[in-house]
Amino acid sequence: MRNALAPLVLITGILSLTLLATAHAQDSPTPAAPRPFYLRLADAYQTDWHPTSSSDPAPTRRGYPAPLDSPPFPSTDYSAGGTPILGAPDTQTYPLMQAINTNRSRIKIYGWLNGGFNVSTSNKGDGANAPAAYYYNPNRIIPDQEVLYIERLPDTVQTRHFDWGFRFAQLYGQDYRYTTSKGVFSQQLLARNHEYGYDPVMYYLDLYFPSVAKGMNVRIGRYISLPDIEAQLAPNNYTYSHSLLYTIDPYTQTGIVASIKLSDQWLLQVGLSDGNDVALWTPDAQPTGTVCVDFTWSKGSDALYTCANSINDGKYAYNNLQSYYETWYHKLNATWHTDTEVWYMYQRDVPNIANNLAPGQTPITPETGANGAFCKSGQLRCFAPEVAVVNYLEKQINPKNYLSIRNEYVDDIKGQRTGYATKYSEHLLSYGHWIGSTILVRPELRLEHSYNQSAYDLGTKKTQFIVAGDLTYHF
């Protein structure tokens, strides 16, 4: 744990002291010495944990009202990837920035320390919980992700002038194995399979053009893959663990995506990247298209997000998945809402690893980090598809507590994504509790089953039960 936290603590300290010195140099001299930084940071947490009622008016918002409350939920808006929510104000404040300059600047430095534990019926060593994630290793306390953000959000509420933003997000911990992009420090995973690693998971520039339709944001760089209910880092998800569906999904793309708000109901997204989870300089990179349409109705209570996330030749390469998604968000009433996602993915010409080749046929070795498939007898390569559906049912108990129920079904038809050609079901019950807006605790119970063959505990069990939980500490 100490090694996992050291880089983040060092970076945070250096940046904090730099900004503090800059802010102090710009201030006019005052007779009284300023309160020490650590006291201002303590004050920020004290205020967050024991807030007083505010008489300030709600910030201006353009478009439909936000459907959800945050906290307790990760966001006030339904997820739409590749863009800030066009028309939504930036209302986030952070203890670190409060201590540095009372959250006055638009460039913000913040992050979190996230760690958890799991107790599992699987017990055969490293990777025995897989394909469950992110707790890859069973029966451990885990530093999952220690994250530092540096960002500026564009002001998309105003429609008078061009604006810009950026994000640089760094991650260290066990979860790097799920975010790794081939060619970007990927030797930690692909060559050495380190338990913990570093990944600069996001680095992009946002350009906001208010005069295009009702606002257009252009994102350039490495960004989180557009669709998915869960397609974000720890605090942006309902639960500690992730669905099987999301675990075998692409994580990031590097390219350009334009998000155009045509009206309060319609959002169009068009993008071009170098593929899924690969850097431009790798041989796996190739031009890959993205087209998504979001339709919102019922004054923001319902949204249908349709996405063709990866469009190219679909031939076997590192994570070169052709992926198509449909996500429906629905607010049932003031305290209940549900999110449902269905997807279909495939790759072509995947090497056969089923040991069923004809005499004289030479097997094709799969690429490191990219599984082969269990093809029909005599096939050197084959078409490898997967289908899945997941549903979240969310209950807001009060502004600090919420309940999550997740159910899903996955059919890894040729075993190319999980390593086992089988159907899966997964069921989860999770509870989220906030202390202020800076500490989140999420205990959970998870039961899953593989139907066609044993896929858990390194291929020795069909059923797995896990008790787990995590804590996220924001700074």
Average pLDDT of the residues of the chain: 92
Encoded tokens for 105? 């600047």
This prediction has a pTM of 0.90
Confidence of residue 2 (pLDDT cuts 50, 70, 90): very low
β-strand partners of 270: 258, 291
- pLDDT tens digits, 274-307: 999 999 999 999 999 999 999 999 999 999 999 9
Is the pLDDT at 23 greater than 60, yes or no?
no
Answer with the residue of higher pLDDT: 221 or 27. 221
Percentage of residues in the chain having pLDDT higher than 70: 93
pLDDT for 228 equals: 86
What's the first-to-final CA gap in the chain, in angstroms? Answer: 18
Amino acid type, 354: A
Cα–Cα dist 275/290, whole Å: 10
What is the arithmetic mean of pLDDT over 440-461?
Answer: 98
Cα–Cα separations (whole angstroms), residue 67 to 70, 78, 83, 90, 221: 10, 8, 18, 16, 29
Q: What are the residues whose beta carbons fall under 8 Å from the beta carbon of 422, sequence distance 6 or more?
A: 412, 415, 450, 451, 452, 453, 455
Looking at the chain, the number of H-run helices and the number of E-run strands are 6, 16
pLDDT for 32 equals: 65
Q: Which of 469, 373, 378 is nearest to 421 (CA)?
A: 373
Domain 2-27+64-474 sits in which CATH superfamily?
Porin (2.40.160.10)
Instruction: Transcribe 79-112 into DSSP letters.
Output: --TTS--TT-------HHHHHHHTT--SEEEEEE
Is the pLDDT at 171 greater than 50, yes or no?
yes
Is the pLDDT at 439 greater than 50, yes or no?
yes
Beta strands in 156-227 (DSSP E): 163-173, 197-209, 216-224
Burial 20-45 (b: 16+ CB within 10 A, else e): beeeeeeeeeeeeeeeeeeebbeebb
pLDDT for 416 equals: 97
Q: What are the residues whose beta carbons fall under 8 Å from the beta carbon of 416, sequence distance 6 or more?
A: 347, 350, 371, 372, 373, 384, 386
Encoded tokens for 182? 């081939």
pLDDT for 85 equals: 96
Confidence of residue 1 (pLDDT cuts 50, 70, 90): very low
pLDDT for 412 equals: 98
- pLDDT tens digits, 315-373: 999 999 999 999 999 999 999 999 999 999 999 999 999 999 999 999 999 999 999 99
pLDDT for 6 equals: 44
Q: Counting beta carbons within 10 angstroms of the beta carbon of residue 184, is it exposed (0 to 12), middle (13 to 18) or buried (19 or more)?
A: buried
Is the pLDDT at 90 greater than 80, yes or no?
yes
Cα–Cα dist 251/260, whole Å: 23
- pLDDT tens digits, 111-152: 999 999 999 999 999 999 999 999 999 999 999 999 999 999
Cα–Cα dist 384/415, whole Å: 8
SS3 content of the chain, % helix, strand, coil (to 5): 15, 45, 45
Cα–Cα dist 167/84, whole Å: 11
Confidence of residue 22 (pLDDT cuts 50, 70, 90): very low
The domain locations on the chain are: 2-27+64-474
Cα–Cα dist 99/314, whole Å: 49
Cα–Cα dist 293/56, whole Å: 35
Q: Give the per-residue SS3 of 353-414.
A: CCCCCCCCCCCCCCCCCCCCECCCCCCCEEEEEEEEEEEEEEEEEECCEEEEEEEEEEEECC
Is the pLDDT at 192 greater than 60, yes or no?
yes
pLDDT for 349 equals: 98
Confidence of residue 54 (pLDDT cuts 50, 70, 90): confident
Q: Which of 103, 381, 390, 379 is nearest to 244 (CA)?
A: 390
Cα–Cα dist 86/269, whole Å: 12
Confidence of residue 56 (pLDDT cuts 50, 70, 90): confident
Is the pLDDT at 419 greater than 70, yes or no?
yes
